[in-house]
Structure 1
């Protein structure tokens, strides 16, 4: 018994008791009522979509009729700007906007510019898939036929779209079924057509040329498809 309670043994026992006490004070004890680890940290409330998107109007400060009034004034200002004092064109643009609430002259003109560049570039490269999505069937068939003739002759086109220095509305109307908007494009391009041997047969690879076209875009305002398609094309002198 005296050997069991010698001084070194008592020191070791004292140290062990001290360590256990410190571990208990730091880690605590389980009572059986603790929440699982995933519940201990409450997740943040999901961010509402309205808080992500910056509202164009402060909530609750503008009545719907005032919003409509602002939109109408903005639309009328755009019509006056793009109609260029042409009363008949202004009337046509108003008719289109009345049956197609998505239409505004400014946004339409920007979309028409993009469509024009895509179409003339796709035509030069023979990209039928792009043309098919943007052209009405009869117009696509005409472009497709010209591409096929060019390919059969072994011709290729080196084409660079430079820009559109002038784009303007020419006509607009609603024919009780479709809305139709006609645009005049004055484009600058570099185009050179070569035969199988690489000989230049048309155009100039080192010179910018100006081309002028008048295209009509059409859409059924009752359709769920928001896309416009080109239904007529003509080259201006």
Structure 2
């Protein structure tokens, strides 16, 4: 009988100790779960600047994306980039890529105006010296009774090859590689030069200029040459 009583007492003691152990560990576990539940996931809580160098390093072979300046300079020859950057610093509206687009348009408009004898358009797009040369060539062509039927087929390439900035004047030289179909007739309509069936590759070097402090954004053609 005493043996049975001892077993019952030991069982009660074990139950009591088990209850106390649960009350301590169980609450601690619940507290840790609540604390972890309030923490952000590791990817949000780790600051990249605090990572070890090996964690910040890019995987082998991964290429960094080109910067905005590198993309802007893609159509600028290396030797002209410093002056182009100086122009961009002096004129916040200047962007090399946008300038190239405008130069391509101007190239086509000026050639078309010259072929058609449109002096008004030429005067708007060229400085006085270039305009006078174009106008003289048009007058000579008219006097000779010649009519041109040229057509710009495509501009293969346009690149800023040289630049100069002497405040406030900016000068940019662009090399154009283009295909042009050309044909000239005399006053009687007979073809005297060229062919509209065969395009001729044209390699032109044009220089544009602008005062960076001017209100008007227009660049004027100041010289033409052949490469």
User: 1:197 aligns to what SS in structure 2?
Assistant: coil
User: 2:99 aligns to what SS in structure 1?
Assistant: helix
Asked which structure has the greater CA Rg, the reply is 2
Matched, 1:198 2:214: no
Aligned with residue 137 of structure 1, among 128, 135, 142: 128
Aligned to 2:142: 151
CA distance in 2 between partners of 1:107 and 1:80 (Å):
11
Matched, 1:83 2:91: no
CA distance in 1 between partners of 2:105 and 2:218 (Å):
13
Q: How far is 1:209 from its partner?
A: 1.1
Aligned to 1:125: 116
Structure 2: which 5+ residue stretches go unaligned? 1-66
Aligned to 1:208: 199
CA distance in 2 between partners of 1:103 and 1:81 (Å):
15
Aligned to 1:225: 216
Structure 1 pair 79/172, CA: closer, same or farther in 2 (3 Å)?
farther
User: 1:208 aligns to what SS in structure 2?
Assistant: strand
Structure 1: which 5+ residue stretches go unaligned? 1-72
The question of whether the paired residues in 2 share the 8 Å contact of 1:162 and 1:188 is answered with: yes
TM norm structure 1: 0.65
Aligned with residue 162 of structure 1, among 148, 153, 169: 153
CA distance in 1 between partners of 2:206 and 2:125 (Å):
12
CA distance in 2 between partners of 1:232 and 1:218 (Å):
9
CA distance in 2 between partners of 1:226 and 1:83 (Å):
20
Q: How far is 1:79 from its partner?
A: 4.4
The question of whether the paired residues in 1 share the 8 Å contact of 2:88 and 2:95 is answered with: yes
Q: How far is 1:83 from its partner?
A: 3.1
Aligned to 2:49: none
CA distance in 2 between partners of 1:128 and 1:136 (Å):
12
Aligned to 1:181: 172
CA distance in 2 between partners of 1:80 and 1:151 (Å):
42
**Structure with greater proportional helix content:** 2
User: 1:143 aligns to what SS in structure 2?
Assistant: helix
CA distance in 2 between partners of 1:199 and 1:122 (Å):
23
Aligned to 1:12: none
Matched, 1:95 2:86: yes
Q: Deviations over 1:45-67 (max 9, x none)?
A: xxxxxxxxxxxxxxxxxxxxxxx
CA distance in 2 between partners of 1:207 and 1:80 (Å):
34
